[in-house]
């Protein structure tokens, strides 16, 4: 097992070394399990000292430092010790590396649709040394030159422009040479290689590219115009905002299989998860999600790639900026002007929930003692809360001062590294007042203020978490509906614990309907009682989203009776006209709310009726109709109806049974125990795509049969190794409501066997598997107690502990709702 780099070690090594260049030769045509990797690193040592280079090989062929051989046996848990004299050095590492299936390192995938093989590099967070030898930390940047031997029918794309220079017919291989890159951090380095379907375009002197597996060629062709248009619009806007041109040559967007994240901002070759190439019909909300992801990764070319945080405790300088600018630019210059509405439904709760957990942390200076710990902080705080804080700061400073400071920051640290203090110094020189109070309250203090309405006292109360006290000022708006249902909106400045407000006794109130601040808001009883009637007639999409967010926060904190939320859904869903609202709200209602109702079966039936009414009101062929039908599938309990739908029978006019809809129905049938394992196998054989394999795993694990649960469990323990997407789907399928008799043995097995899981899963996937296999349907105080017992155990892997803390907090809150409201 390798070690994760400590912050103290990174500082020591950065103070010692200056890396001049990397030259990396990879042989991807050797065999399907491993690849050759020869790395030449040229660097200087500022003094005589001992340090180490990071390396995670399958086998070492040879190592030479300044021409002298080093003993490969000195490699210890991913670190090769180096004894250096002062001055220049050359390290050459010839190694054999292993292809991976966990979405990290050099990931290899065989497309089940046609048997073709694809690879891509993900060097993020401790993974680069499994591709090439390196000093793996963000502040030892250097230029890279790649040379790649690959099968002759492959295309190879990297961080810099490259071309095929020679074909070796006898070996059925080709040699590719790549230009020298700009200075890059190790975690940006990528390579995408395989028989990819590639499309090309250009804009404003920048060569553009798109690629995906050949089995997705038709789908990529269908989406290409939209993707290229989004990319061009975003480039124009980022060039206008920054006044700094994109400096990394080509801009290629590669859609790759089994990618863990949404995307990764590698300069010159951004990688995306390939379900973002839509092979089935999707809602407008899904298209907005893709558009904001494209814009997010483009923002990173400046914040992250031109200027990189010195260490991961400032990762917000990457992610908060990309989240804010990605949504802003998408809303401002693309066809998706409603991107902030999508953000309200799809992202707001992710951040608010994270900020209320025991694992909450500051936006900046998050205490990332090592790279492994930092990976856990790529969460709703670093993305959504940080974005909100920047949005607030921009509103206070104005664009002129905000971007003047940003441009100076990017210019001073061009192709280098910087810290939070550097950026704030730039803002203050650009004309901002002293920002120290803002920094302390919003960036360095974790937790969210809770804003509530006290009608009797006629005030809005502000309180911060007891464990994280703060004195934050909020500039927001307050929406008020009078007894006749007419809404009015007024500004509200919350500057202390109590802020006077003028309210009628029957007025309904929504605080912060436009997401102007970062705060937890929950509804008072009078407003909650009025929301069903109000939402029937409210067309303002921001206001509708704000109502749902305040209600969801109320349930999360056991302050709202779930039965009242079902009543709201019955009234609101049939009048909804935004598919984002449906796509975000109904899965939460079904997955989180129904299980804590006093009568879950009756509650699900009421939601089914609401979804049916929405389907009847939606225009034929609209994306709202699609979202309504997806909701109908998740709430249907009649097996005859589901079986008819699974064959395309009795579908509403305007819908066709594509891959996504078919497997939605099959997974639902499996969860109800109304389909056989053999039937699922036949469905997979009929259309054996990568997506179908994942959904087949979800469906099999969902069957209420001991053999199916054992099948899923073998993936958790590593007894049956599978790739990351199938692994996560197996965990999610295992825990289904109303299957407690079958899943009961796995509650204790989860806690008993989880400590050993790091022996078979690592990195990103370790966090995923901890969450995916957590017993979410065991709404018992004893389960929470058992989780707390394990969390407190000494020696538990930090990644496991962090993800277990988060999953346990969610379960604890659901148990609290059931105990308070009799579920």
Which positions are catalytic? 297
Q: Burial level of 10, CB count in 10 A (0-12/13-18/19+)?
A: buried
**Cβ distance 511 to 450 under 8 Å?**
no
Bridge partner residues of 91 (DSSP): 41, 65
Alpha-carbon distance values, 804 to 26, 309, 374, 501, 769 (Å):
38, 28, 16, 42, 10
Q: Which residue has the tokens 């204790």?
A: 748
DSSP bridge partners of 274: none
Helices (H), 215-263: 217-242
Under a CB-based contact definition with an 8 Å cutoff, are residues 671 and 702 in contact?
A: yes
DSSP state of 382: I
Closest CA to 36 of 58, 53, 55: 58
Q: What is the dihedral of CA 392, 396, 397, 403, to 10 degrees?
A: 20
As to burial, measured by CB atoms within 10 angstroms (0-12 exposed, 13-18 middle, 19+ buried), residue 461 is middle
Burial class (CB in 10 A: 0-12, 13-18, 19+), 648: middle
Angle at 623 between CA 619 and CA 626, to 5 degrees: 90
- For residue 807, the tally of other CB atoms under 10 A from its CB is 18
Greatest alpha-carbon span in the chain = 86
What number of helices (H) and strands (E) belong to the chain?
28, 28
- Count CB neighbours of 591 within 10 A: 12
For the chain, state the CA radius of gyration.
27
For 451, what's the count of Cα atoms within 13 Å in the CB-facing half-sphere? 28
> Residues 38, 24: contact at Cβ < 8 Å?
yes
Residue from 727, 781, 774, 779 nearest 746 by CA: 774
User: CA 405, CA 389: separation in Å to the nearest integer?
Assistant: 16
The string over 32-67, giving b where at least 16 C-beta atoms fall within 10 Å of a residue's C-beta and e elsewhere, is eebbbbbbbbebebeeebebbbbbbbeebeebebee
Tokens of 304: 């992250």
């Amino acid at each position: 097992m390798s070690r994760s780099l400590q912050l103290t070690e990174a500082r020591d090594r950065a103070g010692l070394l200056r890396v001049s260049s990397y030259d990396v030769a990879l042989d991807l045509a050797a065999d399907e399990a491993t690849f050759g990797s020869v790395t030449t690193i040229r660097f200087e040592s500022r003094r005589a000292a001992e340090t180490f280079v990071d390396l995670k090989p399958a086998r070492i062929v040879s190592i030479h430092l300044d021409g002298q051989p080093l003993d490969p046996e000195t490699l210890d848990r991913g670190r090769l010790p180096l004894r250096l004299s002062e001055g220049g050095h050359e390290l050459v590492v010839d190694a054999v590396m292993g292809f991976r299936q966990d979405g990290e390192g050099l990931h290899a995938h065989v497309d089940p649709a046609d048997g073709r093989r694809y690879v891509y590099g993900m060097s993020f967070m401790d993974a680069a040394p499994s591709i090439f030898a390196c000093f793996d930390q963000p502040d030892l940047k250097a230029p890279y030159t790649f040379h790649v031997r690959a099968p002759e029918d492959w295309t190879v794309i990297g961080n810099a422009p490259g071309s095929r220079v020679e074909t070796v017919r006898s070996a059925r291989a080709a040699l590719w040479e790549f230009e020298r890159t700009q200075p890059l951090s190790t975690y940006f380095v990528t390579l995408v290689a395989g028989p990819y379907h590639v499309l090309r375009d250009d804009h404003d002197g920048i060569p553009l590219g798109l690629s995906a597996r050949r089995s997705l060629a038709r789908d990529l062709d269908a989406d290409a115009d939209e993707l290229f248009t989004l990319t061009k619009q975003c480039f124009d806007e980022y060039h206008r905002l920054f006044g700094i041109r994109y400096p990394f040559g080509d801009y290629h967007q590669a859609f790759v299989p089994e990618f863990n994240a949404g995307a990764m901002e590698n300069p010159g070759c951004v990688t995306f998860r390939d379900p973002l190439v839509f092979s089935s019909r999707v809602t407008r909300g899904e298209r907005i999600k893709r558009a904001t992801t494209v814009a997010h990764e483009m923002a990173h070319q400046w914040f992250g790639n031109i200027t990189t945080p010195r260490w991961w405790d400032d990762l917000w300088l990457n992610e908060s900026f990309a989240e804010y600018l990605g949504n802003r630019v998408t809303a401002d210059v693309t066809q998706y002007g409603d991107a902030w509405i999508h953000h309200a439904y799809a992202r707001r709760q992710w951040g608010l929930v994270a900020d209320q957990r025991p694992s909450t942390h500051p936006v900046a200076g998050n205490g990332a003692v090592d790279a492994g710990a930092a990976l856990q902080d790529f969460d709703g705080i670093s993305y959504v809360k940080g974005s909100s804080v920047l949005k607030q700061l921009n509103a206070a400073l104005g664009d002129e001062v905000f971007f003047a400071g940003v441009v100076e920051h990017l210019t001073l640290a061009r192709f280098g590294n910087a810290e939070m203090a550097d950026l704030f110094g730039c803002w203050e020189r650009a004309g901002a007042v002293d920002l120290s109070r803002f920094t302390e309250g919003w960036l360095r203090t974790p937790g969210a203020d809770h804003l509530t309405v006290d009608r009797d006292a006629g005030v809005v109360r502000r309180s911060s978490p007891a464990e994280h006290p703060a004195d934050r000022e909020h500039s927001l708006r307050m929406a008020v509906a009078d007894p006749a249902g007419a809404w009015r909106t007024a500004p509200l400045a919350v500057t202390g614990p109590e802020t006077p407000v003028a309210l009628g006794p029957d007025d309904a109130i929504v605080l912060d309907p436009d997401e102007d601040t970062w705060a937890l808001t929950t509804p008072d009883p009078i407003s909650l009682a009025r929301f069903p009637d109000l939402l029937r007639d409210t067309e303002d999409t921001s206001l509708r989203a704000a109502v749902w967010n305040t209600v969801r926060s109320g349930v999360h904190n056991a302050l709202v009776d779930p039965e009242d939320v079902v009543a709201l859904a019955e009234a609101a869903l049939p009048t909804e006209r935004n598919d984002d609202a449906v796509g975000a709200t109904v899965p939460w209602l079904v997955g989180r709310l129904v299980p804590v109702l006093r009568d879950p079966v009756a509650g699900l039936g009421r939601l089914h009726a609401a979804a049916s009414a929405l389907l009847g009101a939606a225009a034929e062929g609209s994306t709202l109709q699609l979202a309504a039908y997806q909701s109908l599938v998740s709430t249907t309990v009649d097996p005859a109806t589901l079986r008819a739908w699974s064959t395309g029978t009795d579908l509403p006019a305007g819908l066709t049974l594509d891959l996504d809809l078919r497997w939605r129905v099959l997974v639902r049938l499996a969860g109800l125990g109304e389909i056989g394992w053999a039937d699922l196998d036949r469905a997979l054989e009929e259309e054996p795509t990568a997506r179908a394999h994942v959904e087949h795993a979800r469906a099999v694990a969902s069957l209420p049969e001991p053999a199916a649960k054992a099948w899923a469990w073998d993936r958790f323990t590593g007894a049956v190794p599978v790739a990351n997407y199938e692994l996560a789907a197996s965990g999610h399928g295992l825990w289904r409501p109303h299957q407690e008799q079958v899943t009961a043995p796995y509650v204790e097995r989860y806690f008993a066997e989880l400590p050993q899981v790091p022996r078979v899963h690592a990195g990103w996937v370790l966090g995923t598997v901890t969450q995916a296999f957590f017993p979410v349907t065991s709404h018992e105080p004893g389960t929470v107690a058992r989780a707390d017992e394990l969390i407190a155990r000494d020696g538990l892997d930090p990644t496991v502990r962090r993800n277990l803390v988060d999953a346990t907090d969610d379960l604890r809150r659901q148990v609290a709702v059931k105990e308070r409201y009799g579920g």
